[in-house]
Structure 1
Amino acid sequence: MHQDSVKQYLEEIIETMNEGLFIVGPDGRISMVNSSLERLTGFSRRELLGKPCTVLNCDACRISRREGRDHWCRLFDERKQSRKNCRIVRKDGSCVDVVKNATLLLDNGEVIAAVETLTDLSELVEKDRKIEELSRLLDTGFHGMIGHSPAMQRLYALLEKAARSDAPVIIFGESGTGKELAAHAIHTLGWRAERPFIQFNCAALNESLLESELFGHVKGAFTGAIRHREGRFEAADGGDIFLDEIGDVPPATQVKLLRVLESKRIERVGDNRPIEVDVRVITATNRNLERLVAEGAFRKDLFYRINVIPIHVPPLRERAQDIPLLAARFLEDIRTRTGRGAQGLTPEALRLLTAHPWPGNVRELKSALEYACVLQDAGPVGPEHLPPAIQNAGGAPGACPPPAGAPHGAPDPANAPGAPEAPHPALPANPRQALIDALLATGGNKTRAAALLGVSRGTVQNRMRRFGLDLKRVVSAPGS
């Protein structure tokens, strides 16, 4: 077939493509789409033709438009984009990950349009998500947060979903639960990950200094303002700003925050010229904002503006099964940092830790283990090494004696012959169940299970053979 004859069937050829294709004019309006793009986006041809290409709300395009030099979009400066990973928003509001290729169409050197193709990556992203989920079960961590309890798994899933959105997020949780880590995870997982992440504690300053820190000031705005200063919102432009302790913001500053959220503009203190900022706002609080609203201490309109995606970080007492994991990690960190430290926990010490209510949450647990490592810099942590408040709460004011028939320093009968083991100050009454509990608590990680039991990894392997335990069955069937 002659080449000119092929051209008249070009539209039919384009319709056979699996990739979504669309053509954008120099004015940024869509002039042509294929059926695959309709299926990918959920928009019909009628809803797309003649509309600005911003209707697809592509995260990579936001950056291109913001960084365009001579034209409204950077594509028209660079003339080509290859294999650009990005995320678009479908008609129903859901997000889909795609790979974009784009190039300009020229006629005698003049730009007449841009043609772009989008390849759906949903299946690959879903597989990556499942792999990440399995990795979390094995590694027990998620962007600095530790635990594989149901409460934490729900939190991880919600953080991933929140990261795909650009709506304001508010993180609720008691002091010491890890709200900062949750905010940083949202930033790292989101499309703004390569842009700034600015963190600020709103309870740290008085009202006048707070506004200057958030919005900046101009020279001469107040006594001591000897030069122009950029605020936190300007520093976060293009990225995320994390406002911790949002419940402590004074009423006057609340008004200005609301205006920024609604207009995407700030005004420096002492200046009336608006500055546009593209910032996603993440807030956090350990206070009951609904009660503060009812009392008139927090603006209702601001509450509804920041409470778009609420996330609750569970207190440690609601995920006590994660305490062995956290304890093992903190002890390991202390040894790495100081070159000395305790080697695991005795069963009785672990019982006291899991029974404690932890009003200070993870932060309190970490401090308790720091205290224990000061008293015990070698060997396992026993009850006598824990802070008095934890000992007394568990009814164990001093050291826990070894069980009857097992004198201090006696070898563990669960070991296989020929595999000597270091003496243990408090052997469990049921070593098989203690081993199963440790393996479950660490998601099958033998090294961390050994740290919890205060023994070597080789001892854990010997005991598994001795008791006929299969790691996969233990982890997948907790009742074994």
Structure 2
Amino acid sequence: MLDQIFATSGHKIIENMTEGLMLVNPSGKILYVNNALEELLRYKRNELIGKNCDILECDCCARTKSRGRLKVCSLFTKGEEKNLRCSFRRKDGTAVTVLKNATTLRDETATVVAAVENLTDLSSIEEKDRVITQLKRHLAHEEGFQGLIGSSEVMRKMFDLTRSAAHSDAPVIIYGESGTGKELVASALHRLGARQESPFVKVNCAALNEDLLDSELFGQALGGFPGPDSSAVSRLEAANGGDLFLDEIGDMPLALQIKLLRVLQEHEIERAADHHFIPLQVRIISSTNKNLPKLIKEGRFREDLYYRMSVIPINLPPLRERKDDIPVLVEAFISNTSIKTDKKIRRVSKQALALIYQYNWPGNVRELINAIDYAFVLCSGDEILPEHLPPHFAVQLKMLNIPVVKSQLSKTEDVRQRLVKALKATNGNKSEAARLMGISRVTIWKYLKKYQVEVNRKIQE
């Protein structure tokens, strides 16, 4: 059965392979190439068949010949090559990295008559390896620390303090505006400390109302609060032996501040389900974007809790105060986004970088990430230009007298095109598309209606 399939359809199978295939005789003459190899090396079939395989400048063959001064390819003496990483030269002069597997073919008399080479394109893998290596350099070398990127003096001092604080059991409070990376610092404190193998529990104090936050932090009596599991373990108990991260502690209601203070003083928590007291050994890491001394004066934050929580304060600088880090941040985010989107954008133009540097960044690093995401939606080349940045950068363009390439589309067509691109980039997620475009969700709904763009499983243009 198989012999019949190969006899009738073997050539069709080879021509429809996604990997390149080439037949070469012992003297190096190319006898056959399939469609995939034509596409891989950008030659027409008639430009290769009958030519010597030296035309492809395989670096593996070149190294073997230079070492052994062989006139015959080593493949014909060894009989096979397995998982050999090689570089071939395309017709246009560019190099392409491939994984080569090859074997010799023999006739009825066991004489070697040809070799078949199977070439797998490694370009995309090689590119991702390059980007990952670059990201590792940013995150692990002098320009980064535990996911935080920067080499400015203020960031280096913050890295040193975080590294030292990680080994202490004293409570740590992280101050910083929204988008500066407070959660990354909290995670670093846990990973670098002695509790790294113990739980790391996070609670956002601003995301829950008072009743839910009370239930999450301290637990609840069985049946005392509606929910699928009224006997669930509290976050404090879950963090026992490890670290509890209280994000946005400045938003915690006063009544819960009193309960938290008691837990920190007594080092125990009462389990609501059975009223048993559980000894508690947990380090508290908190963060806030608020001015806690001001909240104390206003009666919105307890002074005794403040002093108990802020034994080790860590201040995260806003992006506007460390603009020397902007180039390396931009480079890292471009590399990261190119992996996620598979778009080969390599850099940002000098004019666009000047705009980025001039901008005040009220949303800090998170806003910069969003701006790069937005630029990736609009950029179709390998370089981010000023016109690819979010709309509010247009004001900066005028202030800095930077020329911008005008769109060939009308204003209506231009907005509609950006809308469609943003929706496609986010798989129809309107909230994410609005974020990429720098507009509100209400505005994007207006645009959808105005420009008659339908969003379902497929974007209807």
Range class of TM-score, shorter chain: 0.5 to 0.7
For 1:198, the equivalent position in structure 2 comes to 201
Quote the offset at 1:248 in angstroms: 0.5
Take 2:293 and 2:267, find their aligned partners in 1: how far apart are those partners?
Answer: 25
Q: Is the 8 A contact 2:172 2:313 kept in 1?
A: yes
Aligned partner letter, 1:380: E
- The answer as to whether partners of 2:219 and 2:235 remain within 8 angstroms in 1 is yes
- The residue number in structure 2 matching 1:159 is 162
User: Of the candidates 161, 168, 191, which is equivalent to residue 188 of structure 1?
Assistant: 191
- Which residue in 2 is equivalent to 1:327? 330
2:282 corresponds in structure 1 to 279
1:361 aligns with 2:364: yes
Give yes or no for contact 1:203–1:248 (8 Å, CA) kept in 2. Answer: yes
Residues 204-248 of structure 1: CA distance to partner in whole angstroms, max 9, x if unpaired?
111111111012223122344754110111111111010001001
Structure 2 residue 143 is the aligned partner of structure 1 residue 144:
no
Task: State whether structure 2 residue 384 is matched by structure 1 residue 381.
Answer: yes
Q: Is the 8 A contact 1:355 1:394 kept in 2?
A: no
| Residues 226-273 of structure 1 deviation map (CA, whole Å, 9 limit, x = unaligned) | 541101111111110100010010111000110111111112346532
Counterpart code for 1:267: E
CA contact (8 A) 2:397 2:403 kept: no
* Alpha-carbon distance in 2 for matches of 1:135, 1:323: 13
Letter in 1 for 2:152: S
Alignment of 1:28-177 (within 5 A): 138-177=141-180
Unaligned runs of 5+ in 2: 1-136, 406-461
Question: What SS does structure 2 have at the residue aligned with 1:200?
Answer: strand
- Quote the Cα distance in structure 1 between the aligned partners of 2:148 and 2:141: 14
Instruction: Map 1:259-270 onto structure 2 (within 5 A).
Output: 259-269=262-272
Q: Which residue of 2 aligns with 1:238?
A: 241
| 1: CA distance, partners of 2:140 / 2:277 | 48
Partner amino acid, structure 2, of 1:180: E
2:215 matched to which residue of 1? 212
Whether the aligned pair in 1 keeps the contact of 2:349 and 2:385 (CA below 8 Å) is: yes
SS of the residue aligned with 1:388?
A: coil
Q: Distance in 1 between matches of 2:350 and 2:400?
A: 16
Say if 1:216 and 1:229, in contact at 8 Å, map to a contact too.
yes
Encode CA deviations 1:382-401: one digit per residue, 9 max, x unaligned. Answer: 11111121231353699737
Structure 1's 392 and 255: CA in aligned 2 closer, same or farther, altered over 3 A? same
Provide the residue aligned with 1:407 in structure 2: none
For 2:309, the equivalent position in structure 1 comes to 306
2:269 counterpart letter in structure 1: I
Q: State the Cα distance separating 1:274 from its structure 2 match.
A: 1.6
Q: Which shows bigger deviation, 218-227 or 333-342?
A: 218-227
Deviation, 1:278, is 1.1
- Tell me which structure has the larger Cα radius of gyration: 2
Q: Is the 8 A contact 1:383 1:398 kept in 2?
A: no
CA distance in 2, matches of 1:224, 1:370: 38
% identical equivalent positions: 50
Assess if the C-alpha contact under 8 Å between 1:331 and 1:341 holds in 2.
no
1:341/1:376 contact within 8 Å kept? no
1:347 lines up with 2:356 in the alignment: no
Q: CA shift at 1:199, angstroms?
A: 1.0
Letter in 1 for 2:215: S
Whether contact under 8 Å (1:372, 1:387) holds in the other structure is yes
1:54 aligned partner? none
Answer yes or no: is 1:316 the counterpart of 2:319.
yes
Match of 1:294 among 293, 297, 317: 297
- Structure 1 residues 211 and 341, CA gap change in structure 2 (3 angstroms): farther
- Alpha-carbon contact 1:382-1:399 (below 8 Å) kept: no
Distance 1:196 1:342, change over 3 A: same
Q: Following the alignment from structure 1 to structure 2, what is the Cα–Cα distance between the partners of residues 196 and 394?
A: 49
Deviation at 1:138, TM superposition (A): 4.2
- Among 240, 252, 256, the alignment partner of 1:249 is 252
Q: Which residue of 2 aligns with 1:400?
A: 403
Partners in 2 of 1:151 and 1:226 — Cα distance?
46
**Alignment size in residue pairs:** 269
TM superposition shift of 1:341: 4.8
Pair 1:180–1:258, CA change in 2 (3 A): same
Q: Tell me, which stretches of 5 or more residues in structure 1 are unaligned?
A: 1-133, 403-480
CA contact (8 A) 2:248 2:286 kept: yes
What is the CA–CA distance in structure 2 between the aligned matches of 1:138 and 1:280, rounded to whole Å? 29
Of 210, 227, 231, the residue aligned with 1:228 is 231
1:281 maps to amino acid: I
Q: Alignment partner for residue 370 of structure 1, among 368, 373, 376? A: 373
User: Structure 2 length as normaliser, TM-score?
Assistant: 0.56
Please point out which of 381, 390, 394 is paired with 1:391: 394
In 2: Cα distance, 1:238 partner to 1:245 partner: 22
The answer to whether the 8 Å contact 2:175/2:288 transfers is: yes
Secondary structure of the 1:266 match is strand
Query: Which residue type is aligned with residue 390 of structure 2?
Result: P
Change in Cα spacing, 1:207 to 1:270, as seen in structure 2 (3 Å) is farther
**In structure 2, distance between residues paired with 1:231 and 1:326:** 38
Q: Please tell me whether the aligned partners of residues 173 and 311 of structure 2 are also in contact (alpha carbons under 8 angstroms).
A: yes
